[in-house]
Amino acid sequence: MNDNVPSRLDLLHFARRVVVQQATAAVAQLDRWIAEEERRETEHRQGEEMRPPPPEWVVERGLQKTNTVAVHLGDCWTVRKSTRCVGVTRDQAIEALRRQVPACTHCRPDTELGFLE
């Protein structure tokens, strides 16, 4: 009856094979995760490099596209994600200020443009 029972040494060798097999699978999974994260970082970096620079001046429009709400510097934090902002030239920004469109109180484009009322 004892002939069919594996020895302690056989059991230890078996346990080692199981651990090596599981460790190999875990390392392979980690390698896949690392490769995926490296791909994401590369794509993000390439996207940042390809992104056009922000416009120098921005006009914020109201809910109706004909309403102009404010003039901003292109990198003003209040309009970074706004879909109602349009990049404009320096002359267009000055013209908007001349038409009494308010200047942003945070980025002060009127000061940057040298616009005096």
Looking at the chain, the whole-number percentage of residues with pLDDT higher than 70 is 94
AA letter at 105: T
Instruction: Pick the range with the lowest mean pLDDT from 25-29, 46-50, 64-68, 69-73.
Output: 64-68
Rg (C-alpha) for the chain, rounded Å, is 32
Mean pLDDT (the chain) is 88
Q: Are 93 and 59 in contact (CB under 8 A)?
A: yes
> In terms of Cα–Cα distance, which of 99, 94, 95 is closest to 110?
94
Q: Are 73 and 56 in contact (CB under 8 A)?
A: yes
In the prediction, which pLDDT does 2 show? 60
